[in-house]
């Protein structure tokens, strides 16, 4: 069977105040063209269809039309909710999705609802575990369906996900079908793309690839925006976002993944580039140097090598109308490191930490007391 794996559309994304709706329209049109050319049996959209939990009507129309167009290529279409999506709002679209022949899984409901099965036109049977993004709280709720003890329900996020996937993939032991998983996760050892939501990529949400059973033919992941393979007991892959969503992703190659796999054939993966969006580029230089920059098909982040002065931003944007972000090059800023060092000289670690908490608006005395205890323990051991 053939699979088209895409994720992290982030429809509705605004970059430095610039609406990118037209770019998203072109990008999804190209994804549909790729599906028409490749004729996959199954299209997997591994989460983050939207950039916000409250998408506009315009964004909703674009996403639903894109899913419908992918379905009209003849492929089965499965889409799951990501951490940017409102899972319950996606589930509210289930009646429309069911009528359109689209499998939409916004949030965790009944476990049996997450196992989707099918047969290709060529007679290849497949089964797919479609696990939407789960926050820490909802991961506990999902696993509690299996009547865990109190100690078991207090396991780490990775342990909970491992237990959940283990239960959902029990049918994989039955031979004769291609076993697939799609989810929206942060994998240990994977590289972030640069524009992900930090709160859901920190180590508390990181899961080892060993959570996936060895008899899985392919794991289609979303969440990290860089196309990459993750080393694991089975083929595990992020397809990346089909467009760079922030300047931290300007080195990424936007693409979708095409996967050919069979019960007795290892997954063969190739990336198909998606080139419809404007590229993101960082340029730096003096005004004279910036006047020679010619990048009309890119959104720009400009680091100006000039002394700060009123009107400098306007001068840059007159030279480069596609400049969305204009900043003074850090090398041109006064060196404040020496001044900060002088200010800190002679102050105790407790005073410095207290100043840090004050600068962050943290007034909880418990935090200061905990720091004092830790500092006393460290100091006494030296």
Q: pLDDT band for position 339 (50/70/90)?
A: very low
Longest dimension (CA), the chain: 76
CATH 3.60.21.10 assigned to 2-273: yes
User: 221: which strand partners?
Assistant: 183, 238
How much is the mean pLDDT over the chain?
A: 88
Among 235, 262, 236, 114, residue whose Cα is nearest residue 176: 262
At residue 313, does pLDDT exceed 70? yes
The angle, 0 to 180 degrees and rounded to 10, between the axes of the packed helices 157-168 and 136-144 is 40
At residue 240, does pLDDT exceed 70? yes
Among 37, 48, 113, residue whose Cα is nearest residue 74: 37
* Average pLDDT over every residue of 346-375: 72
Residue 326 to residue 302: CA distance in whole angstroms: 5
- For the segment 48-87, what is each residue's pLDDT rounded down to a tens digit? 999 999 999 999 999 999 999 999 999 999 999 999 999 9
Instruction: Give backbone dihedrals phi and psi of 198, rounded to 5 degrees, phi first.
Output: -60, -35
Cα torsion at 312, 19, 194, 204 (round to 10°)?
120
At residue 336, does pLDDT exceed 60? no
At residue 311, does pLDDT exceed 50? yes
- Of 82-91, 98-107, 230-239, 324-333, give the lowest mean pLDDT range: 324-333
As a whole-number percent, the residues of the chain with pLDDT over 70 amount to: 87
Instruction: Please answer whether residues 116 and 127 qualify as being in contact, where contact means their C-beta atoms are separated by less than 8 angstroms.
Output: yes
- Of 15-29, 215-229, 366-380, give the lowest mean pLDDT range: 366-380
* Average pLDDT over every residue of 252-279: 96
Detail the DSSP E strand segments found in the chain: 2-6, 14-15, 18-19, 42-45, 76-80, 102-105, 115-119, 125-131, 178-184, 186-187, 206-207, 218-222, 228-230, 236-238, 255-262, 265-273, 279-285, 298-304, 323-328
- For the segment 291-310, what is each residue's pLDDT rounded down to a tens digit? 999 999 999 999 999 888 88
pTM: 0.82
Q: pLDDT band for position 232 (50/70/90)?
A: very high
* Contact residues for 194 (Cβ-Cβ < 8 A; gap 6+): 225, 226, 246, 247, 248, 249, 250, 252
* Contact residues for 363 (Cβ-Cβ < 8 A; gap 6+): 357
- For the segment 30-42, what is each residue's pLDDT rounded down to a tens digit? 999 999 999 999 9
């Amino acid at each position: 069977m053939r699979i088209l794996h895409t994720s992290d559309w982030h429809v509705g994304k605004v970059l430095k105040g610039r609406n990118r709706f037209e770019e998203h329209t072109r990008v999804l049109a190209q994804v549909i063209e790729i599906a028409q050319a490749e004729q996959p049996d199954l299209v997997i959209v591994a989460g983050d269809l939207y950039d916000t939990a409250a998408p506009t009507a315009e964004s909703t129309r674009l996403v639903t039309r894109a899913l419908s167009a992918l379905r009209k290529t003849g492929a089965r279409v499965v889409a799951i909710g990501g951490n940017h999506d409102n899972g319950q709002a996606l589930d509210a679209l289930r009646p429309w999705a069911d009528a359109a022949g689209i499998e939409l899984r916004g949030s965790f409901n009944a476990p049996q609802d997450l196992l989707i099965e099918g047969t290709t036109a060529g007679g290849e049977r497949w089964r797919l575990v479609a696990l939407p993004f789960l926050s820490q709280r909802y991961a506990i709720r999902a696993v509690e369906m299996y009547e865990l003890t109190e100690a078991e329900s207090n396991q780490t996020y990775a342990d909970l996900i491992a237990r959940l996937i283990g239960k959902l993939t029990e049918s994989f032991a039955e031979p004769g079908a291609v076993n697939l998983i799609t989810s929206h996760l942060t994998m240990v050892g994977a590289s972030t793309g640069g524009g992900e939501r930090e709160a859901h990529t920190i180590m508390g949400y990181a899961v080892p690839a060993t959570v996936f059973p060895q008899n899985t033919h392919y794991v289609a992941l979303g969440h990290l925006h860089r196309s990459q393979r993750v080393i694991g007991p089975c083929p595990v892959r992020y397809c990346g976002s089909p467009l760079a969503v922030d300047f931290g992703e300007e080195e990424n190659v936007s693409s979708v993944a095409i996967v050919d796999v069979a019960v007795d054939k290892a997954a063969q993966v190739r990336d198909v580039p998606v080139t419809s969006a404007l590229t993101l580029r960082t340029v730096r230089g003096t005004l004279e140097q910036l006047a020679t920059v010619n990048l009309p098909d890119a959104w720009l982040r400009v680091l100006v090598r000039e002394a700060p002065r009123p009107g400098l931003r306007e001068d840059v944007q007159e030279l480069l109308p596609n400049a969305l972000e204009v900043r003074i090059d850090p090398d041109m800023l006064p060196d404040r490191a020496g001044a900060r060092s002088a200010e800190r000289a002679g102050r105790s670690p407790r005073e410095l930490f207290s100043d840090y908490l004050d600068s962050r608006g943290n007034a909880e005395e418990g935090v200061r007391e905990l720091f004092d205890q830790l500092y006393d323990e460290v100091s006494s051991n030296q």
